[in-house]
A = this chain, B = another copy of it.
Amino acid sequence: LNKKYPDVFFQGVKKPFKSVIDVSSGDPHKAGMPPISFIRQVMAVCLYPELLKEKSLPLDVRQRAQKLLDMCSGGSVGSYSTTSIGLPEVQKSISEFITRRDGGVLSHPEDIILTIGSQKGLSVFLNLLTSGEGKTQTGVLTPMPCPHTLPMLLDMTGLALVPYRLFEEQGWAVNLDELHRALEAGRVHCEPKAIYISNPGNPTGYVQDRETIEKVIRFAATNCLIILAEEVHQGSVYGQDKEFISYKKVLSEMGKTYAETMELVSFHSISTAYIGECGLRGGYMEVVNIDPAVKKCLNFTPSAPVLPQLALELSLNPPRPEDSSYNSYTQVRGLSYALEFLNRVEGMSCQPSMAGPFLYPRVHLPPHMVEEAKRLGVKADVLYCQRLLEEEGICVGAGCENGQEDKNYHIRHRYLLIDNKINQFHRSFCEAMLTG
């Protein structure tokens, strides 16, 4: 892993490890995992169409590349995207993916807006929600813990974060009573107009069931909240008897009143697949029941980049069993499955994750350590992460970045074979704190 890193120095001091392993974000390539050949091969052919003649590349790769090139103006990835929200043929292909995924519930190409990753789409939409100040400031109901980039995004956009807690002892499920409490509490200082949902949950890995989703939709409808459904980990559910059900599907099966009026935006991205392609920045929003005038404002750039659209199309429509690339593609998926069950680290406790790339274990820190952190002016989970980085070269995320602000401490890390190192560190860290 990361064999290219030189010896690591920190402020001139040589560190006791050869390289830094960053597992704080869901970036598999940074951590040294190889990409899925199929996606990369097709994109290489799209960029350099001479490779269409290259017989050493699988036939389905070349056929797929030709199909994607035909979606581009002038048959080239170098021409502007036909419309600023995306290539019409890509919009169509994505809506077909969604219709398949949702068992026939129709998705409309004109509701698909191509984005540079899900976060960019979200930030554009949040911008449109921004208004007021003080008690009239727009608020967004936000799960705690939440994706670690969300609190800053809300802050930068000028929106009030209205926290609703997910309870660890309930496996991080959404709790309706807590939603009501949070809304009332939020209304004291702002005007909540949207609810942010992360399903499967980031960083918790919790997958919502149909009943919960129905309740959340009714709650949002009663309280005039737009639903912002971050569903980027939909493709990596592995919990036993768990399945991803989209908010869109449930909504459209709750009868006309809900199906035709509730405003819903669903976000997806290629950064979050089994082997996500984070650097390519492909994503989409599906906007349901959103006013056409608002949709018009969602064009995030004068012309949507072409390559991320193609990568997204590929990622959502992988090779089929009859395609020559099918076997190699499914092998890679199997590999990432193998990483999914490294669940418990000694000295910590962790809710079983059902989906997504993260583990979010609770670290049990003795009170004197919390005191020590206070003395140093940092949060205890941040101190823990700093020491883990300095001593083992492993970079994990502190739970406070995910908005977790209670007396318990958490860390967030991507599945990797680092658990033993963390285990050792945790023990010696707690011991050093006792004696130090």
Separation of A277 and B77 alpha carbons in the complex (Å): 8
Please measure, in the bound complex, the distance between the C-alpha atom of A50 and the C-alpha atom of B38, giving whole angstroms: 12
Q: Of residues A50, A149, A281, which shows the largest number of chain B Cβ atoms within 10 Å of its Cβ?
A: A281
A73 within 8 A of B: yes
The reply to whether B2 and A78 contact each other, CB–CB distance below 8 Å, is no
Of B45, B78, B301, which is within 8 A of A280 by CB? B78
Give every chain B residue within 8 A of A32 (Cβ-Cβ).
74
**A149:B29 contact, CB within 8 angstroms:** no
| Partner of A117 from B2, B44, B303 at Cβ < 8 Å | B303
How many copies of the shown chain assemble into the complex? 2
- Asked if A264 CB lies within 8 Å of chain B CBs, one says no
Q: Is the CB of A305 within 8 A of B308?
A: yes
CB of A280 within 8 A of CB of B77, answer yes
Tell me, in angstroms, the Cα distance from A35 to B153 when the chains sit together. Answer: 38
Interface size on A, residues (CB 8 A): 53
A302 with B123: CB separation less than 8 A:
yes
Q: Is A381 an interface residue (CB 8 A)?
A: no
The answer to whether B76 touches A302, judged by C-beta atoms less than 8 angstroms apart, is: no
Report the bound CA distance from A280 to B74 in whole Å.
Answer: 14
The SS class assigned to the A binding surface is loop
Q: Which residue from B37, B41, B149, B303 sits with its C-beta under 8 Å from A302?
A: B149
Hey, what's the 0/1 contact readout for A41-72 against B, CB within 8 Å counting as 1?
A: 10111011011000000000000000000101
In the complex, the answer to whether A79 meets B305 with C-beta atoms within 8 Å is: no
- A302 neighbours in B (Cβ, 8 Å): 117, 119-120, 123, 149, 153
Q: Which residues of B contact A29 (CB under 8 A)?
A: 73-74, 76, 78-79
Contacting residues, chain B, for A334 (C-beta < 8 A) = none
A412 to B87, CA, bound (A): 25
Q: Which residues does chain B contribute within 8 Å of A30, judged by CB atoms? A: 73-74, 76, 79-80
- Least Cβ–Cβ distance between A298 and chain B, in angstroms: 12
Which of A27, A72, A303, A306 is the most central at the interface, judged by chain B CB atoms within 10 Å of its CB? Answer: A303
Chain B residues with CB under 8 A of A301: 116-117, 119-120, 123, 281
A4 at the B interface (CB under 8 A):
yes
Bound form: Cα–Cα A126–B77 in Å:
28
* Contact string against B for A residues 260-279, beta-carbon threshold 8 Å, 1 for contact and 0 otherwise: 00000000000100011111
Across the interface, which residues of B come within 8 angstroms of A305, CB to CB?
Answer: 116, 279-281, 305, 308
Chain B residues closer than 8 Å to A25, beta-carbon distance? 80
- Nearest B residue to A308, CB-CB: B305
In the bound complex, residues from chain B placing their C-beta under 8 Å from that of A76 are 29-30, 35, 279
Set B27, B79, B117, B278: member contacting A27, Cβ < 8 A: B79
Question: Is A220 in contact with chain B by the CB < 8 A criterion?
Answer: no
Minimal beta-carbon separation of A5 from chain B (angstroms): 10
The B-contacting residues of A in range 187-207, CB under 8 angstroms, are none
Partner of A70, one of B4, B28, B48, B308: B4
| Residue A215, interface by CB 8 Å | no
Name the residue on B nearest A118 (C-beta): B302
**Is residue A316 contacting chain B, with contact meaning CB distance below 8 A?**
no
Residues of B within 8 A of A275 (CB): 78
Name which residue of chain B comes closest to A77, CB basis.
B279
A307 contacts the other chain (CB 8 A): yes
**Are B117 and A81 interface neighbours, CB within 8 A?**
no
Is A40 an interface position by the 8 A CB rule? yes
Residue of B nearest to A2 (CB): B74
Residues of A296-315 at the interface with B, using a CB-CB cut-off of 8 Å, are 301-303, 305-308
* 7 tightest Cβ-Cβ pairs between the two chains A and B: A279-B306, A29-B76, A44-B48, A29-B79, A44-B44, A29-B78, A30-B79
Name 6 A/B residue pairs within 8 A (Cβ), A-sorted: A27-B73, A30-B79, A32-B74, A117-B301, A117-B303, A279-B306
